[in-house]
Amino acid sequence: MLFKQQALLRQKLFVLGSLAIGSLLYLVARVGSLDRLQPLCPIDGRFGPRSQDEIPLRALQFKRGLLHEFRKGNVTKEQIRLHNLVQQLPKAIIIGVRKGGTRALLEMLNLHPAVVKASQEIHFFDNDENYAKGIEWYRKKMPFSYPHQITIEKSPAYFITEEVPERIYKMNSSIKLLIIVREPTTRAISDYTQVLEGKERKNKTYYKFEKLAIDPNTCEVNTKYKAVRTSIYTKHLERWLKYFPIEQFHIVDGDRLITEPLPELQLVEKFLNLPPRISQYNLYFNATRGFYCLRFNIVFNKCLAGSKGRIHPEVDTSVITKLRKFFHPFNQKFYQITGRTFNWP
């Protein structure tokens, strides 16, 4: 009798378990279906009233796969016309700073369904040979997008190259400019680390950071060293301000983007007049990598390349102190100009 009761109980549990799993699978399929069909508000207030051919943001999000095929070149002119896709000049550019987190910022902004990124650094405005090819060459380097999406490119060399501000101004005087910065000494060491790694891959030797950053003749900070010069943010920004008002710049905290990315991304969404779409769901911390990774949907996740987050070599503390003392007055001026203060020593 007891054996029969146990067998009956197991049978009931099996049936209930099967129903639960079936219900769960149905809900997943149903939510996905509804998610694809549910229209959301368009990008309000930036492009004016919604036209009949405007694509809802949710629809844009689920057509990323299609855009990927266009980027790979697996399309015909007829398909381009049919889907109303265009190659647009960027409405925003991440102009720097090298080793400030430009790649991370671009990839994270690409989570937004109204943003399309140029995958490679174009180096149009800082490279004379490329610039001589003309604006149409530049436009054709941009990804395919829907007319109401924003195209963003990043080339961190733009920030420190003298000719670039005027060249970008001639293309679009109202363009929005993003600058991501880190604590200047940390950024300089990160810059050095990337170059050092490249030398080691080629079995070449390289000077220690201390020897490059400090002038051996004067024992003062070596401002001829490019990694040091790049970290004097205010000197470069002042050149840009000859062409663009400060309102067209947004400063991103690169150190905070590593530890708390969402608040920084929300500030960028606001600056670009985008509806808030990036949420904590899109960002998850990968303990193995030590960085946040990106979740586009239930299927597609992405982490930054393994080269990101290189381990820095140990640097003499007296050199770090000297560099921080050197950068301090420049940092204070940078805070004053931008209206944003950082907790830099």
Q: pTM, whole model, 2 decimals?
A: 0.79
Higher pLDDT, 339 or 34: 339
pLDDT in tens, 113-151: 999 999 899 999 999 999 999 999 999 999 999 999 999
Arithmetic mean of pLDDT, 94-103: 96
Q: Find the range with the poorest average confidence among 73-82, 91-100, 153-162.
A: 73-82
What is the structure's pLDDT at 67?
A: 57
CA atoms of 220 and 199, how far apart (whole Å):
26
Residue 34 has pLDDT above 60, yes or no: no
Residue 333 has pLDDT above 70, yes or no: yes
Q: Where are the domains of the chain?
A: 87-338
The long-range contacts involving 60-64, CB below 8 angstroms and separated by at least 24 positions, are: 60/113, 60/114, 60/146, 60/149, 61/113, 61/297, 62/35, 62/36, 63/146, 64/113, 64/296
Residue 6 has pLDDT above 70, yes or no: no
Q: Which two tokens stand for residue 3?
A: 């054996």
Arithmetic mean of pLDDT, 175-185: 98
CA atoms of 179 and 94, how far apart (whole Å):
6
What is the structure's pLDDT at 288?
A: 82
Average model confidence (pLDDT) for the chain? 83
Per-residue burial over 299-315, b if 16 or more Cβ lie within 10 Å, else e, is eeeeebeeeeeeeeeeb
**Nearest partner of 174 among 239, 248, 115, judged by Cα:** 248
Banded pLDDT at 11 (limits 50, 70, 90): low
What is the structure's pLDDT at 297?
A: 84
CATH number of 87-338: 3.40.50.300
What is the structure's pLDDT at 304?
A: 80
What is the structure's pLDDT at 310?
A: 73
Residue 309 has pLDDT above 60, yes or no: yes
What is the structure's pLDDT at 24?
A: 46
Arithmetic mean of pLDDT, 228-234: 98
CA atoms of 17 and 13, how far apart (whole Å):
6
Return all residues near 92 (Cβ < 8 A) that are at least 6 apart.
Answer: 150, 152, 175, 176, 177, 178, 272
Arithmetic mean of pLDDT, 30-52: 35
Active-site residue 199, yes or no? no
pLDDT in tens, 242-295: 999 999 999 999 999 999 999 999 999 999 999 999 999 999 988 887 889 999
What is the structure's pLDDT at 204?
A: 87
pLDDT in tens, 105-118: 999 999 999 999 99
Arithmetic mean of pLDDT, 179-189: 98
Higher pLDDT, 192 or 84: 192
What is the structure's pLDDT at 115?
A: 97
Of 4, 12, 99, 141, which is the active-site residue?
99
Considering the chain, what percentage of its residues have pLDDT values greater than 70?
A: 75
Q: Which residues are annotated as a binding site for 3'-phosphoadenylyl sulfate?
A: 99-103, 182, 190, 292, 308-312
Residue 202 has pLDDT above 50, yes or no: yes
For 49-78, the DSSP string reads SPPTTPPPHHHHHTTHHHHHHHHHT---HH
- Class of residue 206 by CB neighbours under 10 A (exposed 0-12, middle 13-18, buried 19+): middle
Higher pLDDT, 268 or 69: 268
Q: Which residues are annotated as a binding site?
A: 99-103, 182, 190, 292, 308-312
Arithmetic mean of pLDDT, 171-185: 98
